[in-house]
Amino acid sequence: MSTLKFDKLEGLGNDFVLIDCRDGTQAPDEFQAARIADRHSGIGCDQVLAILSPREQGHCAYSIRNADGSCAVQCGNGARCIGWWLHLRGETAGPAVLESPGGLVTVTVEGPELVRASLQEPTFPKPVKDGQWPAQVKVDGRSVQFYPVDTGNPHAVVVRESGEPGHRLESLGPAMEASALFPDGVNVGLVEILDHETVKLQVHERGSGITRACGSGACAAACALIRAGLATSPVSVLQAGGSLVIEWKGEGFPIQMTGPARWVFKGEIECQNVTQ
């Protein structure tokens, strides 16, 4: 049994438990992270973020575990929350470079509880099945068109058809995630285009389910639509927890994501060394 000190933060309702492991504290393993993330018997969160000592040029590094304990490679809202947490602790006076599992992220505090994150350039993989972009996948007995985008995490962006029920993601997300087309799983974003600079988005995150907001998913949706000529940068992405502004100038440029980050509370938790 070990005692872990933690901070709880949230960005657009996408909530995180941050554990500072730079003092030698061991980062939670798969099973401990799942216990911590449980909203009934733990603290409750979408992801557990372990703050680590930098490996190279960053201010700090961090690891990401989903609510089921599985590892993630990128978390845009989480990066902004780390940026706000560092700012509140007085550790940064300007932009901070974070070493995420998916590469370097630069975070800048733009104002009270407002943080901008600069993420690496997106990529647009073509599925092995047909090599087309956008691509097609058959789920729930029908063919679904989607835009594959990698923003550190793999995303499948589906444009919501006019009159289509909003609850469709409840079945579409798990079905696409389980498809053989995505052997490592996928985050599924269902996007509704309101105009060329405004969209609505729901995301089913692999390992966490439908969340109130997803930073990397917002980036994926905006970049996919910009690349397809369906949106113009900057794009306001409206989610259940609030809105993010995504800027992407195109090939060769990083993604800029700006939105709120808020510290909620801190505490301690007794964490058992469990193996199942």
**pLDDT number for residue 139:** 86
**pLDDT number for residue 222:** 98
Catalytic residue among 60, 214, 219, 223: 214
> Residue 12: pLDDT band by 50, 70, 90 thresholds?
very high
Most confident option among 133-142, 180-189, 206-215, 216-225: 216-225
> Residue 275: pLDDT band by 50, 70, 90 thresholds?
very low
Mean local confidence (pLDDT), 113-128: 91
**pLDDT number for residue 90:** 97
- 271: annotated active-site residue: no
What are 174-208's pLDDT values in tens digits? 999 889 889 889 999 999 999 999 999 999 999 88
**pLDDT number for residue 168:** 81
The proportion of the chain whose per-residue pLDDT surpasses 90, expressed as a percent, equals 79
Q: Which of 18-32, 44-58, 59-73, 150-164 has the lowest mean pLDDT?
A: 150-164
Mean local confidence (pLDDT), 135-143: 87
- Assess whether pLDDT exceeds 50 at residue 157: yes
Domains delineated in the chain: 2-115+261-271 (3.10.310.10), 135-253 (3.10.310.10)
The rounded radius of gyration (Å) of the Cα atoms in the chain is: 18
Mean local confidence (pLDDT), 260-266: 97
Higher per-residue confidence, 161 vs 53:
53
- Assess whether pLDDT exceeds 90 at residue 165: no
- Assess whether pLDDT exceeds 80 at residue 127: no
Catalytic residue among 45, 60, 75, 223: 75
pTM of the shown model: 0.90
Q: Do residues 192 and 160 make contact, with C-beta atoms less than 8 angstroms apart?
A: yes
The proportion of the chain whose per-residue pLDDT surpasses 70, expressed as a percent, equals 95
- What does the block give as tokens for 224? 């996919």
- Assess whether pLDDT exceeds 50 at residue 276: no
> Residue 147: pLDDT band by 50, 70, 90 thresholds?
very high
Q: Do residues 174 and 204 make contact, with C-beta atoms less than 8 angstroms apart?
A: yes
Mean pLDDT, the chain, whole residue set: 92
- Assess whether pLDDT exceeds 50 at residue 111: yes
**pLDDT number for residue 274:** 44
**pLDDT number for residue 163:** 62
- 75: annotated active-site residue: yes
